[in-house]
């Protein structure tokens, strides 16, 4: 995995990047991870530069959904919104976790705090209980520090990275 640059970020932002990198590197079967704000904007991604490198290397297989961490963030936001709406309609309280098992992979979405979501794209052979356990650990560690100020800083770092990659 290509770690995103954390130069110039606050201590809390660097810690969240480290936690995310650790999640992907330490848990077998995790292909990519995205943290999405309550308004659907990507805050953190496990592979912001990896997909461009894969395309440049001519790999046939995309790294994440259609090869883009932005696509994963979009899917996570959509599933999060759909499940929250379903929970309201059914009057069953908040949504803690959603899991979608597919023929060629899995998608996990877990609430972090204040509407933010952690999304994980897993390999077809991943151990779903291990992935869910490590996601819960991430949420427990990240949830209390994901303040409005930190979300703003993370959004800005994603925007700066995307501007830098197009120049």
Question: What residues does each domain of the chain span?
Answer: 11-166
Condensed to tens digits (0 to 9), the pLDDT of residues 146-167 reads: 888 898 898 888 877 766 655 5
Question: Residue 39: what pLDDT?
Answer: 87
Across 96-104, average pLDDT: 94
Q: What is the CATH number of domain 11-166?
A: 3.30.450.30
Condensed to tens digits (0 to 9), the pLDDT of residues 120-147 reads: 999 999 999 999 999 999 999 988 888 8
Inter-CA distances, 10 with 23, 151, 156, Å: 20, 12, 12
- Reading the block at residue 13, the tokens are 């932002």
Question: Residue 165: what pLDDT?
Answer: 57
Longest Cα pair distance anywhere in the chain, in angstroms?
49
Condensed to tens digits (0 to 9), the pLDDT of residues 4-47 reads: 556 778 988 998 989 999 999 999 999 999 999 988 888 998 86
In this prediction the pTM is 0.82
Question: Residue 50: what pLDDT?
Answer: 46
Question: Residue 59: what pLDDT?
Answer: 47
Query: What is the 8-class DSSP label of residue 145?
Result: G
Which band of pLDDT confidence, cut at 50, 70 and 90, is reported for residue 101?
very high
Residue pair 19/142 in contact by the 8 Å Cβ criterion: yes
Across 64-78, average pLDDT: 76
């Amino acid at each position: 995995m290509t770690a995103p640059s954390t130069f110039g970020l606050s201590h809390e932002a660097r810690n969240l990047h480290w936690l995310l990198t650790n999640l992907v590197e330490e848990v077998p079967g995790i292909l990519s991870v995205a943290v999405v704000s309550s308004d659907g904007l990507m805050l953190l991604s496990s592979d912001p530069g990896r997909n461009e490198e894969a395309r440049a290397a001519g790999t046939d297989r995309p790294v994440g959904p259609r090869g883009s961490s932005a696509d994963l963030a979009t899917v996570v936001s959509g599933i999060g919104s759909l499940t929250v709406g379903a929970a309201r309609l059914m009057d069953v309280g908040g949504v803690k976790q959603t899991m979608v098992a597919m023929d060629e992979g899995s998608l996990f979405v877990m609430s972090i705090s204040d509407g933010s979501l952690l999304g994980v794209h897993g390999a077809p052979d991943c151990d779903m209980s291990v992935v869910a356990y490590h996601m819960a650990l991430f949420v427990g560690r990240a949830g209390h520090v994901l303040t409005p100020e930190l979300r703003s800083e993370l959004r800005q770092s994603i925007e700066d990275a995307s501007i830098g990659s197009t120049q």
